[in-house]
Structure 1
Amino acid sequence: MRSSWPAGRPQEAPATSRSFKLRKLLLRYYPPGIILEYEDQAGAVQQSSLDLLNLDADTDVEAVCSEIIAQEGLVGESRRGTLRKMVEKLQKKMRTDAGAHQEFRTHKVLKAHMLPLTNCAFNKSGDRFITGSYDRTCKVWDTYSGAEIHSLEGHKNVVYAIAYNNPFGDKIVTGSFDKTCKLWHAETGELLHTLRGHQTEIVCLSFNPQSTVIAAGSMDSTAKLWDVETGTELCSLWGHNAEIVSLSFNTEGGLAVTGSFDHTAKIWDAKSGRCIHTLAGHRAEVSATQFDFVGGIVLSGSIDRTCRLWDVGSGRCIQVKQGHEDEVLDVAFDTTGNKFVSASADATARIYSTASGECLHELGGHELEVSKVAFNPPGTKVITASSDKTCRLWDARTGECLQVLEGHTDEIFSCAFNYEGDFIITGSKDNTCRIWRA
């Protein structure tokens, strides 16, 4: 069990129980955990999480409850019955997810843009998604009907990077080859801020999980952080010697990681912009980076055909994974961080155990390079997108190919699951976006 506390929150049980008042307990399915909503000493409502990242369908429920009660002063013995029901509900969901063999079918084919798509992304609830395009627009779509809700227009060049501020879903940020980012109201389509300062194309961006900061990485070798509320620049991340192509925050939002064509990744203090560690060891461009959920490990993939795991605290490389016969183009953790997957130009993907470093499965079947890869929220399936015009769904536990998603007429370079895992969106160079429904 891992506890995640807001700053200043005491963790000692006696002080916690006297100083704070528990309001309610909430379930979180992906990754599995329990959210504590409580009043602090000033009466303000706060949240902290009990992360049950190693919970499985066979874990002893009473042992989990006892550990929570022993470690968390807000949750006394009187809450054991409630805890038991919540852990059992998490396990029931795990068994349901494990037993589900959904067949995805084409739900909608959207002639989304006049020119090829660049990226696509769901909001948290999955009822809406966005697409970016070479036609200089980002469009907002209704997942169920396929109707266009908004066309976000104003960029003067390719809209390359896009994101919702999940889990809130009320804002959208777009990054463009016109050197700017734009922040939009997701419900109205109103332009809230234009974020300027980069000297060349913007190719990656992210909200922090708290939706207070936007970060963008550029071909000008820097990243910049802006305040979501005011649109003002907070700091610039200086230090890379080539374009930054990957950027993300840790779960707490205090750290950011960037991956660059200068063969390194860097970990930054997201408040000050100070570089904490330079992750050096790759022998070619870094193509993708990501924190695990706990935030203790960074995963990087590289054109040198390897992926690496790095310890965030020390900046030390703790694993080097070899085996791909061509460039590693994408990497991703599952929601718990217990597994990760790499995608390669050798037309395969590989699933690894984070703890042991063992390659659990090699996913072979595509005819051309695999450019994108992702786990579904439960971590039971992996989706791969390929230049061979197909996506494939794989069983993450066995490595079996469950389904080939066919219909696009050109390479697919973007794919995503919704939070429930029952919808998939795929974006293609054929100018269309497809919605797949289980």
Structure 2
Amino acid sequence: MCVCLSAVSFITGSYDRTCKVWGGESGEELLTLEGHKNVVYTVAFNNPYGDKIATGSFDKTCKLWSAESGTCYHTYRGHTGEIICLTFDPLSTMIASGGIDATARLWSVEHGTELATLAGHSSEVICVHFNNSGSQVASGSFDHTAIIWDTHTGRSVHSLLGHRGEISSVAFDYGGNTVATGSMDKTCKIWDIRSGQLITTLRGHKDEVLDVAFDSTGQQLVTASADGTACVFNTTTLNCVHRLQGHQGEISKVSFNAQGSRILTASGDKTAKLWDSATGLCLQTLGGHGEEVLGSLFNYQGDQIITASKDNTCRLWR
């Protein structure tokens, strides 16, 4: 199960081949988006607008939907393998998708056409992320590399080489000056966008780094690991200022609230935890799921949290 939030609702993709839209206040089902012929593995809102939904499926297609009526606007075809990640650009003009076929692709939201095939990886593309202006998109792959692409030309700008394991996650900072990559080699690397050069390698985890996230100021970076901990780094000093300990299983997802004051971690121990980013203290443990928590997110206002679990349920927390 995968999950994404807008300001007023949230969506889930499932092995039942559907995407469901749920009310953010009521938690009630609003729409069921049907049409995919296999697992809906990845979903996204076009935040901050929240009026469109993109879904990516193991049927090798992406679809674009109205978040209000459930109408399917476009079906994007071109990938030759399962689609495992997608995201909107910040202006909601493009969708980037990545798949088992070792490519990322750019799609037009307005016209429903393919804008570019981003070919350069030799293994599946596991993650994609736009910079804040939408002028660049980063792709991370199981081939141990990440690539920065120019979205206007579809050409590679930099290949980021140096990891000794599969890339698990990639994230631009808010200013678009650096990009962070998390890897199965137990490290996170920070790269300079202009030169493509490595700035530093962040170490400290005893197992795979599964997710990375910047806060909205770019002053904090958090890494989540299979060792059951998360590390909060100051991006100026590059020091780990807090190690978030307490989970009894791997941490697969991590995120900041919009203000950067709170951190949310999702774990294989069937819980999510809420942390104070300034002190590193655990503020609350969100328990109740019967299986591992696969994802957890804040809403835009930061006053709601949603958790999605392998037990096929989501929980809404206030």
Is the TM-score greater than 0.5?
yes
Q: Which residue of 2 aligns with 1:280?
A: 161
- 1:133 paired residue among 1, 4, 14: 14
Shift in Å at residue 376 of structure 1?
1.0
Q: Secondary structure at the match of 1:235?
A: strand
- 1:186 paired residue among 57, 67, 89: 67
Q: Which residue of 2 aligns with 1:161?
A: 42
Higher strand share: 2
Letter in 2 for 1:248: H
Aligned length: 318
Identity %: 57
Deviations 1:286-328, CA, capped at 9 Å, x for gaps: 0000100100100110000000100000000101001100000
Letter in 2 for 1:152: L
- Whether 2:221 is the aligned partner of 1:340: answer yes
Q: Which residue of 2 aligns with 1:392?
A: 273
Shift in Å at residue 356 of structure 1?
1.1
Q: Secondary structure at the match of 1:175?
A: strand
Q: Which residue of 2 aligns with 1:210?
A: 91
* In structure 1, distance between residues paired with 2:88 and 2:275: 29
* In structure 2, distance between residues paired with 1:150 and 1:211: 21
Q: Which residue of 2 aligns with 1:120?
A: 3
Deviations 1:174-216, CA, capped at 9 Å, x for gaps: 0001000000011100000000000000001111111111110
Q: Which residue of 1 aligns with 2:54?
A: 173
Normalised TM-score (structure 2): 0.99
Shift in Å at residue 143 of structure 1?
1.1
Query: How big is the alpha-carbon RMSD for the aligned residues of Structure 1 and Structure 2?
Result: 0.6
Q: Which residue of 1 aligns with 2:116?
A: 235
Deviations 1:32-85, CA, capped at 9 Å, x for gaps: xxxxxxxxxxxxxxxxxxxxxxxxxxxxxxxxxxxxxxxxxxxxxxxxxxxxxx
Q: Secondary structure at the match of 2:237?
A: coil
Letter in 2 for 1:176: S
* In structure 2, distance between residues paired with 1:398 and 1:160: 35
- 1:316 paired residue among 168, 181, 197: 197
Q: Which residue of 2 aligns with 1:64?
A: none
* In structure 1, distance between residues paired with 2:177 and 2:262: 24
Deviations 1:127-180, CA, capped at 9 Å, x for gaps: 211011111110000011111111000101110110001111110000001000
Q: Secondary structure at the match of 2:134?
A: coil
Structure 2: which 5+ runs fail to align? Answer: none
Q: Secondary structure at the match of 2:180?
A: strand
Normalised TM-score (structure 1): 0.72
* In structure 2, distance between residues paired with 1:234 and 1:387: 38
* In structure 2, distance between residues paired with 1:160 and 1:242: 18
After TM superposition, the runs of 4+ consecutive aligned structure 1 residues lying more than 3 A away are: none
Shift in Å at residue 333 of structure 1?
0.4
- 2:299 paired residue among 410, 418, 422: 418
Higher helix share: 1
Q: Which residue of 2 aligns with 1:225?
A: 106
Structure 1: which 5+ runs fail to align? Answer: 1-116
Deviations 1:340-370, CA, capped at 9 Å, x for gaps: 1000000000000111101000011101100
* In structure 1, distance between residues paired with 2:235 and 2:39: 36
* In structure 1, distance between residues paired with 2:94 and 2:250: 34
Q: Which residue of 1 aligns with 2:262?
A: 381
* In structure 2, distance between residues paired with 1:316 and 1:252: 21
1:78-93 equivalence runs, <5 A? none
Structure with larger Rg: 1
Higher relative contact order (CA 8 A, sep 6+): 1
